[in-house]
A = this chain, B = another copy of it.
Amino acid sequence: MVTKQFTGSPEDADLARADSLAREIFADLANKWALLIVEALGDDTLRFSDLRRGIDGISHKMLTQNLRMLERNGLVERAVHPTVPPRVEYTLTEPGRALRETVAGMCDWTSRYLPHIETARRRFDT
């Protein structure tokens, strides 16, 4: 995942492809908006605008962009109800919910170590 070992041998081709794909996916998901969306969706089914209200500071553009990416990677399911006005609902898929658990772990980590980080920063900023 982190390192790449190329021996040049032919049977490494598949591993190399899988590794570069893993990296690509990791780069897709390891950004704050994507993770916050996954966290915000949780077990709910939310409309675009609800999601937007739910994630503080996210712009219209970033939300659509990341939702597309998450949909493309199969983490989010998009259900369009052809009414007027249109109603589009987003839900985490099973892989999405699985990832959400690790994201939740990251959020827990943040609140848990918040004091430690605050003091570490003060010490460093001198």
Name A's B-contacting residues (CB within 8 A). Answer: 1-4, 18, 21-23, 25-27, 29-32, 35-36, 39-40, 54-57, 71-74, 95, 98-99, 101-102, 105-107, 109-114, 116-121, 124-125
| CA A98 to CA B25, docked complex, whole Å | 23
Given the known inter-chain contacts A30-B32, A116-B95, please indicate yes or no for A110 contacting B1, CB distance below 8 A.
yes
A27 and chain B: residue at smallest CB distance: B32
| CA A74 to CA B123, docked complex, whole Å | 9
Given contacts A2-B40, A3-B56, 4 further A-B contacts (CB under 8 A): A22-B111, A25-B114, A29-B106, A74-B120
Given the known inter-chain contacts A32-B30, A95-B117, please indicate yes or no for A2 contacting B109, CB distance below 8 A.
no
Determine the main DSSP class of A at the interface with B.
Answer: helix
12 contacts between A and B (CB under 8 A): A1-B107, A1-B110, A3-B56, A22-B110, A26-B36, A26-B106, A26-B107, A26-B110, A30-B31, A95-B116, A99-B109, A102-B102
